[in-house]
Structure 1
Amino acid sequence: MKGFKYIIGLTLLAFGVKAAYEGKNIVVLDEKNFQKEVMDIAQVNVVVFYNKEGANERLSKEITTVSEKLRGFVKVGSVNCDIEDNESLCDIEEVTEHPQINIYIPAPADDGSKGVIKKARVVYKGIKKAKYIAEYATSNIVSLVAPITGGETVTNSKINFSSFLGVKTYPKLILCTDKPETPLLFRALSLEYFGKLLLGEISNTETELIEKLNVQKFPSIFYFEIGSDVPILFEGKGNHDNIVAFIEEREKIAKENAEKAKEEEKQPLFDPLPEEIKSQEDLLKCINGFGVCAISILSYEPDFEESVKQHNEEIEILKKLKEQNKKIGGPFKYAWINSVEHGKKFIKDFDVPDMLPVFMIINGKKKVYRVDRGAFDEESISNFLKDVRMGRGRFFSYKFDPQLDNVKDEL
């Protein structure tokens, strides 16, 4: 019976060790992830090192409380020194008792390099209660929030607004506040986003800046994308989760916009000018190629001033239609035929009215066409194209091969 109780006791002890210092907000640390989760970040870390003797249920509850109360402010982790792979880590971190709580706090780099932070290790010797551990940890949350002034000068303690926005490397998050001290949340965010986001703070005494940003209440938080001076107001409840979600959403939008811009750079430059169809090859390229060919039959005589004026007005209409088509991702390719030089047979075959200009579409793949018999203006043609996209109205089929004859050759 004693042997059975001994086995049960070992089982419970093993379970206790496994479950100790673990929780939703506690990172299980080991030799592989310690550098990344602790030493490579600027946030304050509370790390408890323990072995089977250190599987203290009471302290485990206190550490769990710290991890819950300081979620988003401090990172909490645990290292089981009984695991063989963690022995060297526990030696490096100078663990001499179990359990031992180490606090890792951000400190300036030894060489004073800007934008560089190292982590200093402090063995916590205070009362091992959640309240006191939390107080000690939060007291070491230094502020990397830049005080911002509306003045033109830059001092060691303050940076002017334009200089702050002028930093092209990172997006910015600015807090407008009526409090004399930087809030703990913003101090913690400045460490969490170290090297990713610049955080600044504007006091309510900076009246010109407050008016410039149209601040309606305190506190107010504004986000600025990289290279932008346009403020984006955070409108949620000012807690850690909501602010982080807001930042992540802005980062996602910025990334999508950057990818879109990169794709657009690969595309040939957009030319709003519609192409003139001058040959049979041009005609077939428009009709049989990708998309729907939108052809305008114009009458253009460059030797006559009135004709030139009318032609320029017609081309401007087509340019606007082409630009609108690009914006909505429409299927139309815009081109025009000068009926003075070409198109007598084309006009006859497609039953184009004699009164020019005339707008029409041809779908070479489906062998159908439709002539707009309304006015040649932007509104009328836009309505016609809308009907085409919606499948409204009658389309006519054709079985012949479209031909672009040359009027001058016929003469």
Structure 2
Amino acid sequence: MFSSAVLFAFGIIASVNGFYSANDDVIQLDATNFDRLVIQSSDVWFIEFYASWCGHCQNLAPEWKRAATALKGIVKVGAVDADTHKSLGQQYGVSGFPTIKIFGANKRSPTDYQGGRTADAIVEQALSQLRTIVNERLGKRGGGGGGGSSDGSGGKDTVDLTDSNFQSTVLDSEDAWLVEFMAPWCGHCKSLAPEWARAATELKGKVKLGVVDATVHTQLAQRYGVQGFPTIKFFPAGRKDGQAEDYNGGRSSNDIVAWALDKHQASTPPPDVFEITGQADLDSNCAEKQLCIISFLPNILDCQSNCRNEHIRMLKKFGESYKRNGWGWLWVEAFRQPKLEESVGIGGFGYPAQVAVNARKGKYVVLKGAFSETGISAFLRELSTGRLTSPLVPLSGVADGKLPTIVDSEPWDGKDGKLDDVEDIDLSDVNFDDDDDFDMKKERVDL
């Protein structure tokens, strides 16, 4: 009885301590071989730091063995009894069990594995890590398959972000960013992927969308407190201090776009209202925009500086209200650009006037209402919603549907207009005799 009990006890101890053996594909590591096998090698290593008394470690062991067998010859899978070899655990900051470290290209700076504890999840992350290293060696931006293209939220307009490029790509940029932290095994992340890609395309030029595989690029995940997937963070436009705001919108592309545009609008300065004095003004504020709003203001003699400035202030106010649309805003004095006026059906009378031009399509629509806050507000609302009372029509009298060439002119100096001085003629030296006066009168009568 006693011998049976002793043997049973030793069997328990053996099974607890013997998570891995020489018969497994898991490579057992300790202080004597760690530097030679791991640090000095060019292989990618997934290493578990465990303790023999740890129940979670015992549960992980069969999955770790399966992963090691599946990855044999591809990625090295090792294990360290950190309870016995405490110096190794301390060297790599191990404070709980099991802790899994990934020793990738930079062996001196391993990253924490934060994926699932199944063989499938471990293998998937190991292969993702390999893709990241291969793409970096090829000089490709981002982590390749480690980010979004295959399992995450990738698309042609999304950006793969990594521990190595996040600072330069996101934090050092002036752009606004929405960044998704995902895991390839995460079902919710897979559902989000097509919506994220569509949103990235729709937000192009306004807010950039990126993807981080948080199971590979664990430094970023730890920095931003990622605890579940997907986690989305917003980084506003302008200079960044590294802080991020949690995304709290829906997960459809429409929800993502609406939320991002609200943030974009709040952080974007209002557009200026530029006077058209040369071709560059039209090109940068009209040809490169979805729409441009062009106002034709009265001649300065008909609407002096106070009047004109009031018009411009009103236009700037509308520019602020509709800045999320990314429209261009322009004004020009009546008769200064006759070909431009002709191309959009303006000219000769009815100033001030306003048109909206889609330069890419070569079409325009004229403000039919009053040039007032009420009239312009209704016009812009129609443009913003796409529900126009009058449809856009093709530009008139132009080649290839393109806006006419602008004639260079001097910008307004901000002052009131003045009539040209007329030189007074001194008539004191002119003599009119009676005959002359008679003849003039006669001529007038004869007419």
**Interval containing the TM-score (normalised by the shorter chain):** 0.3 to 0.5
Q: TM-score normalised to the size of structure 2?
A: 0.34
Q: TM-score normalised to the size of structure 1?
A: 0.36
Is the strand fraction higher in 1 or 2?
Answer: 1
